[in-house]
Amino acid sequence: MVYYFMIIIPAIDLKDGNCVRLTQGKKDAQTVYSRDPVATAKKWESNGAKLLHIIDLDGAFSGNQKNLEAIIKIRKAIKIQIQVGGGIRDIGNVLNLFSAGINRIIIGTKAIEDPEFLTYLCNKYPGKILIGIDAKNGMVAIKGWEEVTQVSAIDLAKRLEMVGAAGIIYTDISRDGMMIGPNIEATRDMVESVKIPVIASGGISSIDDIKNLMKIKNLWGVITGKAIYTGSLDLKEAIRIAGGK
């Protein structure tokens, strides 16, 4: 069996200034894991993470970023790279985040609703605009996963690659927070459909899940959230096994 290196990316989901995890993206199914996001970010950095994934859940649901202050505090506290998403739907959000030292931003809902805005960002900030494609049964979900569209996730990925997106974060929302393992087949299909980097998300629960994802050639990385908060996945061990690239 051939295994490929990939990067392991710990996630911090912010809601009301706290680190939380949602089950299948449902805002009324949340668990608070920490009320100190800065301490959590430092912990993941000390465990060997090279990149931190932050989502402003309040922003994702409302369309307006609500946790910028917490994000800025995290940025000041750690040295590793940070990518941020959730509610980034106008140029003001983008400027605020880049001014704060965020390395890359993730556009989700706005990528579908306003292609011209996305094209502008990709041209103005080459290599710094990631697209969050959240899918249920292969179809794209938007607005904090509350609305499932009739747009195919793979078709959207191909279109956004042409626009100049730096990479795709692909989440199977039926598995997110469920601890039942990632959707290997759908992830492989996504990776094989585009040439830009793909980061998998959703359902990671164990080292075995990491090893299964490592069988996908050219998968750039994987985001893990609930598993590292509950302890079912040791972040330091996952990074070691995946190559720490």
Rounded to whole angstroms, the Cα distance separating 61 from 205 reads 25
Is 134 a residue of the active site? yes
Q: How many CB atoms lie within 10 A of CB 185?
A: 9
Number of H helices, E strands in the chain: 11, 12
- CB < 8 Å & 24+ apart, contacts of 120-129: 121/94, 122/163, 122/164, 122/165, 122/166, 123/164, 125/94, 125/98, 126/164, 126/166, 127/166, 128/98, 128/103, 128/104, 128/166, 129/104, 129/105, 129/164, 129/165, 129/166
With CA atoms as reference, report the closest residue to 32 among 226, 236, 233: 226
Note whether 59 and 87 are within 8 A (CB). Answer: yes
Q: What is the token pair recorded at 61? A: 């649901």
Is 234 a residue of the active site? no
* Candidates 134, 172, 176, 209; catalytic one: 134
State how beta strands 221-224 and 104-107 pair: unpaired
With CA atoms as reference, report the closest residue to 10 among 230, 169, 224, 244: 224
Residues designated as active site = 13, 134
